[in-house]
Amino acid sequence: MGDFFSALLDIFGSETMYGSAVRLGGFLAFAALGELVAEKAGTINISVEGSLLAGAFAGTVGYHLTESSLVGLAAGVFGGVLIALIQANMSHRLTADQFVVGLTANVLVLGLAGFFNAIIDPLARRTMVVEIPGLVDIPLIGPALFGQTWPTYLLYPLIPLTWWLLYRTRWGLEVRAVGENPQASDVSGIDVNKRRRQAIVYGGILAGLGGAFLVLGQVGTFDTAAVGGRGFIAIAAVYFGGWTLGGTLLGCLVFGFADAFRLTVPVLGYQFNAQMLAALPYVLTIVVMVAITKQMRQPKALAQPFIRGLR
């Protein structure tokens, strides 16, 4: 037992663990911040997985064509928004079932990305690491937070920006209103489905950026399995956080640590069942969802389609 706890202390005292947790949790945070806005508007953007994958592939192609990380990130945003527009218009303009649309979009992106990746065979590389003097010297968390590739730092202003949009603007007030009571919002003159579409597009922007960040800020190459269901974990992080910004970020960090644990154990030389380690983030997702089911305070109109005149 003593060896077990000694191993845990070694793992959780490793800079590798914290660095991986920030990278993996940051990737989730890009998607989860956008998903939070979408769900505050009353819609579950199941296609966030597809937006992440589209952003990763578009970002890879953008870099392949220009050898510019900035162009790659912009292309990633375009890819994420494209999928979000499909989800938004099918769900909140044509009133198709948002879950069916999202799942279909995810499968479509997976197939198209695999097909075009085989044809184009785009090449990318990981961007340079930028260390912030002074802050990077903080033990454990310094290198994790302030010694990352430069696209990681895009997340830092996006957090207050998302908070400001949701809680300090008229648009954010209307987004939250249509998620709580779309009928009353409609009577007040708010275009409910328009606000929902806009919230999904905002989620697509961040998810697309997150997908490009995965390739250009982390792995340096594209693979259709790279996202690996983490779009759904981002949705779970929003649930974990009780539809609050701070709670959502905490959820991303928790899931990031679970994923980082899987990567850090073999790096430090410890032996553990590889399949169990790979399943850990997804098992944790299920456990969290079961644990908080009865404590959730979700937007009252979440996942409920709005059709004018119907209650």
CB distance 249 to 225 below 8 Å: no
Name the stretches of the chain with pLDDT < 50.
none
Question: What residue type is assigned to position 178 of the chain?
Answer: V
Give the span between the Cα atoms of 235 and 237, in whole angstroms.
Answer: 5
pLDDT at 305: 84
Residue-wise pLDDT tens digits, 46-81? 999 999 999 999 999 999 999 999 999 999 999 999
What phi and psi, each to the nearest 5 degrees, are found at residue 147? -135, 45
**Which of 298, 248, 244 has the alpha carbon at shortest distance from 31?**
248
Domain presence at residue 198: yes
CATH number at residue 276: 1.10.3470.10
Domain presence at residue 4: no
pLDDT at 307: 75
Element (H, E) at 232: helix 230-240
Domain presence at residue 1: no
Element (H, E) at 149: strand 147-149
Number of separate domains in the chain: 1
pLDDT at 165: 96
CB distance 240 to 149 below 8 Å: no
3-state SS assignment for residue 148: strand
Contacts of 153 by beta carbon, 8 Å cutoff, 6+ apart: 130
Domain presence at residue 10: no
The greatest distance separating any two alpha carbons of the chain, rounded to the nearest whole angstrom, comes to: 66
Angstrom CA distances, 303 to 112, 199, 298, stand at 27, 13, 10
Question: Per the structure block, which two tokens stand in for 203?
Answer: 């989620």
**Which of 49, 36, 41 has the alpha carbon at shortest distance from 84?**
49
Domain hosting 143: range is 17-295
Domain presence at residue 267: yes
Interior angle at CA 282, CA 50 and CA 13, nearest 5? 115
pLDDT at 273: 65
CB distance 51 to 203 below 8 Å: yes
Domain presence at residue 12: no
Pairing type for strands 147-149 and 129-131 reads antiparallel
Domain presence at residue 208: yes
